Amino acid sequence: MITTWPAPAKLNLFLYITGRRPDGYHNLQTLFQFLDYGDTLHIEPDQSGNISLLTPVAGVSDEQNLIVRAAKLLKQAAETSNPLLAQAGARISIEKTLPMGGGLGGGSSNAATVLVALNYLWQCNLTSDELAKLGLQLGADVPVFVEGFAAFAEGVGEQLQPAQPEEKWYLVAHPGVSIGTPEVFNDPGLTRDTPVRDLAALLAAPFSNDCEAVVRKRFREVDELVSWLLEYAPSRLTGTGACVFSEFDTESAARQVLELAPKGVRGFVARGVNVSPLRRTLSERPATA
C-alpha cells in the first residue's frame, strides 16, 4: 500500500555561532520552528530487499540522495537486532516543493521523514531518540525533524530542548540563488564568537542570524531582498540562506506583501508550527502499520 508523509520546512528563528570545534564544525545556538509547508513523500514498503527512488531529484545522484541514504541507514541499523529486515524494501517518490540550498532544511527533512516512516512501516521499533541519533550521521539538522517539536538547539544543532515560540505567519522569499552550507561556514568574515547565553536571555533579545552579514555581502540578491522586506516587516535569513523570511500576525498581511514581490523573487506564505506535520501524521496513524 502506498502511504503519504509530509517533509516540512524549518526556519531558524534566530541563529548564533558561538565557536568552532577542532573538527571544523561550528557550535550554534538556534531556535527551530517548522512550517506547515514542504515536500511530500510517497512510500510503498515491500519485501524486495531494495530501496528505489522513483523520482530522481535534479542534480543529486540516487546514492547521494538523503532519501536513499536514510532508508539504507535505517535498514542496516535495524537488521542487526532483527535479521528478518534483510527482506525489507521500499519504493519511494517525492513531490519536491522546497528549494535546495534554501536554508529551509529540505534534504534533512526528507531524510527524517524516511527514517520515521520506514521505522513505522517496517516495524523496526526504534525510539525517536534512536532515530535522531542515526539521523545525525546524515546531517546536523536531521534530529530536530525526527523529533518533530519546535526546539532550542545547541551543539551542532543536535542538543535539543523543546520550545514554544509564537506561531506566526511567514512570508518566505527565495532570491533565486542557491547557497551551500559549507561555503558560508568557511567564510573568513563569519562571526564565530557570539557569547553563549541562556534561552531566557536569547528570547528577550531581538532575534538575528550570525550568517546574515556574510551572506548579504557575498550575494547581492539576498542583500536586496532583505532590504526590500524590511520595509514591511521584521525579516531575516534562515539557516545559511538563501531564503529570507518576514513575520506577520495574519495570513492576509503576509499575502499582501508577497503580491508586491519584485521580479525574480519566488515566495510562499506559511504558518509557523511547533508540532511538525510529520509528528502529527504519525500520531494519526494506527499504532502498528
Ligand X SMILES: Nc1ncnc2c1ncn2[C@@H]1O[C@H](COP(=O)(O)OP(=O)(O)O)[C@@H](O)[C@H]1O
Ligand Y SMILES: C[C@@](CO)(OP(=O)(O)O)[C@H](O)COP(=O)(O)OP(=O)(O)OC[C@H]1O[C@@H](n2ccc(N)nc2=O)[C@H](O)[C@@H]1O
| Site residues for ligand X per CB under 6 A | 57, 60, 64-67, 98, 100-108, 110, 181, 239
110's contact among ligand X, ligand Y, none, with CB below 5 to 8 A by partner kind, is ligand X
128 binds ligand Y (CB under 6 A): no
Residue with cell 501524521: 281
Known active-site residue 75: no
Q: Which residue is nearest to ligand X (CB)?
A: 107
CB of 46 to ligand Y, least distance (A): 29
Q: Are 42 and 281 in contact (CB under 8 A)?
A: no
12's contact among ligand X, ligand Y, none, with CB below 5 to 8 A by partner kind, is ligand Y
What does the DSSP assignment read for 136-153? Answer: HTT-TTHHHHHH-B-EEE
236 binds ligand Y (CB under 6 A): no
Q: Which is nearer to ligand X, 59 or 189 (CB)?
A: 59
Among 60, 156, 213, 261, binds ligand Y (CB under 6 A): 156
- Ramachandran category for residue 233: left, alpha or beta (phi over 0 → left; psi -120 to 50 → alpha): beta
CB neighbour class for 9 (10 Å; exposed up to 12, middle 13-18, buried from 19): buried
CB of 250 to ligand X, least distance (A): 27
Among 6, 106, 139, 272, binds ligand Y (CB under 6 A): 139
Q: Which is nearer to ligand X, 33 or 110 (CB)?
A: 110
- The whole-angstrom separation of Cα 239 and Cα 288 is 36
Residue with cell 511547533: 274
Q: Which is nearer to ligand Y, 98 or 254 (CB)?
A: 98
- The whole-angstrom separation of Cα 64 and Cα 74 is 15
28's contact among ligand X, ligand Y, none, with CB below 5 to 8 A by partner kind, is ligand Y
209's contact among ligand Y, ligand X, none, with CB below 5 to 8 A by partner kind, is none
Catalytic residue among 10, 39, 168, 210: 10
3-state secondary structure of 104: coil
Catalytic residue among 39, 141, 168, 210: 141
CB of 107 to ligand Y, least distance (A): 7
User: Which H or E run contains 201?
Assistant: helix 199-204
Nearest-CA neighbor of 103 among 219, 246, 216, 242?
242
Tell me the β-bridge partners of 34. 10, 273
Contacts of residue 163, Cβ cutoff 8 Å, sequence gap at least 6: 31, 150, 151, 152, 199, 274
Please choose, out of 25-33, 37-45, 67-75, 78-86, the segment that lies near ligand Y by the rule CB under 6 A.
25-33
Q: Which is nearer to ligand X, 71 or 98 (CB)?
A: 98
Known active-site residue 10: yes
- By CB under 6 A, how many residues form the interface with ligand Y? 19
Nearest-CA neighbor of 139 among 219, 240, 215?
240
Per CB under 6 A, residues contacting ligand Y are: 12, 24-26, 28, 30, 103, 105, 108, 139-141, 156-157, 181-182, 185, 239-240
Residues that are catalytic:
10, 141
